[in-house]
Amino acid sequence: MKKVIFLLPWMTSRGVEKSLLGLLQYLPRDEYSITVMFGKKEGGFMRLLPSDIEIQELPLPESVKYDICHWSSSRDKMIREIRQGNLFGMIGILYRKCIKKDPLGGYTLPFSKMESIKEKFDIAVCYHMHSTFFIRYVVEKILADKKIIWIHNDFYTTGLDPKIYRKELLRYDYVFGVSQQVINEFIEQIPEMEDRTFLFHNIVPAEQIRIQAGKHIPSEYMESRSRDIPIILSVGSLEKQKGFDIAIKAAKILMDQKIAFKWYILGEGPERDDLQKKIDLDNLHKHIQLCGVKMNPYPYYKFCDIYVQPSRHEGYGIAVEEARIFYRPIITTDFAGAKEQIIDNVTGFIVDLDSIALSEKIKKLLITPSLRKDFEKNLSIEAEKQIGFPQLGLLKRLIG
């Protein structure tokens, strides 16, 4: 039996962590003994981890755990250090960002002072390349016969330059990317790894998700349904990446045009207060509702009329994949992986990252029910072509 360890910051309610849940569900336990090791054993999805895997926490100082588990900007981290009266901490952040060119601040932490993991594994997986701390940690502190690193985000819009980590990345046996675009961007920067870089779409268990959706309309939807108001849904953490500020601007345009709609946004995050202020400032409280995290978001997908993903960047977009499972007409911005999921003008709309463009396509779907029906039909036809998870065969072939 192969011993496999996955490493990632924490189990917060995001797409990367959800994709891990899908993968863990389908790894056969008679072939793999699985450990998941976190920077911190916390996050909304912790309780969804399978009971038959081992869960551990990295043996790290609390200050390091904070740095690798909080996606704060360097500016926010410096403000934190100033408030704590830690001048050297602030200088350290500036040094890592400006001199060492480590934008996320994890790669240049003091690794020489960190403990190695004593247990040996057959396969060690850095499950999120953009968590740069783990690029080094898996290479330097984990003993394993084979090492794999996963790409879940693109490089150009996130600003992460993989060349900074070339020395460590070259020590990985395989690279998996969740979309062809993120793979292409990676190979363009580190072409010598092309022959060990593979496409591995996220595993999304469609039938199980449909069962979880149930038959009952979410309580938040009831008023809109009773008044025959079209329902728009978006799902994602409330952070800049997801583009909900752009969604609010699009909603304002629609409201000013007297278009009837109610937009529900599922998720939590550091931008919540700012987003709510924008909603209140534009008097959009009757049109947009921030609903928080839902451990079972699937009834919201099932009973919405339109799904909108206004993200600035994604690696693949697992929420879009979930909307496709319910054949929801989809409007998405043109992030990495969007064209691998949506056929523009056939199963949905792919738009520029612009509130006017977004509002125009939403309006078109809202006022044209026949177009929504066409998209739903085409999505169901596309779904029939996708059977099974061939990527699991690739994984087994590579790691045995």
* pLDDT tens readout for residues 173-194: 999 999 999 999 999 999 999 9
What number is the average pLDDT over the span 242-268?
97
The answer on pLDDT for 319 being more than 60 is: yes
Task: Give the pLDDT of residue 15.
Answer: 87
- Enumerate the β-bridge partners of residue 349: 331
Give the tokens for residue 138.
């898996």
Residues 285, 37: Cα–Cα separation, whole Å: 41
- pLDDT value for 93: 56
β-bridge mates for residue 144, sequence order: 121
pLDDT tens digits, 65-113:
777 765 544 455 555 555 666 655 555 655 555 555 555 556 667 787 8
Distance of alpha carbon 145 from alpha carbon 259, whole angstroms? 59
Closest to 106 in 3D by CA, of 59, 67, 138, 63: 67
Helix (H) or strand (E) holding 80: helix 74-83
Which strands sit side by side in the sheet containing 348-351, from one edge to the other? 288-292, 262-266, 231-235, 306-309, 330-333, 348-351
For CA atoms 377, 15, 331, 287, the dihedral sign is positive
What number is the average pLDDT over the span 312-338?
93
Six-digit token string for 228 = 């025959």
Output the CA torsion sign for 202, 206, 207, 213. positive
CA–CA separation, 14 vs 235, rounded Å? 10
Q: Which pLDDT score is estimated for 13?
A: 79
CATH 3.40.50.2000 positions along the chain are: 2-60+115-203, 206-384
Helix (H) or strand (E) holding 108: none
DSSP state of 242: G
Q: What is the rounded average pLDDT of the residues 255-282?
A: 96
The residue among 210, 211, 206 whose CA lies nearest residue 389 is 206
Work out the mean pLDDT of the chain and round it to a whole number: 90
- Lowest model confidence (mean pLDDT) among 102-111, 117-126, 389-398: 102-111
Q: Cα(59)–Cα(46) distance, rounded to whole angstroms?
A: 19
DSSP code of residue 267: B
- Greatest mean pLDDT among 68-77, 151-160, 288-297 lies in 288-297
> CATH for 206-384?
3.40.50.2000
Element (H, E) at 55: strand 54-57
**CATH number of the structural domain 2-60+115-203:** 3.40.50.2000
Residue 45, C-beta contacts closer than 8 angstroms, at least 6 positions apart: 11, 12, 13, 17, 18, 21
CB-based contacts of 41-47 (< 8 A; 24+ apart in sequence): 41/10, 41/11, 42/10, 42/11, 42/12, 42/69, 43/10, 43/11, 43/12, 43/13, 43/17, 44/11, 44/12, 44/13, 44/293, 44/295, 45/11, 45/12, 45/13, 45/17, 45/18, 45/21, 46/11
The one-letter code for the residue type at 342 is: I
Model confidence at 313: pLDDT above 50 = yes
Task: Give me the residues paired with residue 264 across strands.
Answer: 233, 289
Q: How confident is the model at residue 171 (pLDDT cuts 50, 70, 90)?
A: very high
How many Å apart are CA 318 and CA 17, to the nearest integer? 10
Q: Rounded to a whole number, what is the distance in angstroms from the first to the last CA of the chain? A: 10
User: Containing H/E element for 226?
Assistant: helix 222-226
pLDDT at position 191, please?
97
> Which residues fall within 8 angstroms of residue 18, CB to CB, at 6 or more apart?
45, 202, 318
Write the single-letter amino acid at 130: H
With left for phi above 0 and alpha for psi between -120 and 50, is residue 286 left, alpha or beta?
Answer: alpha
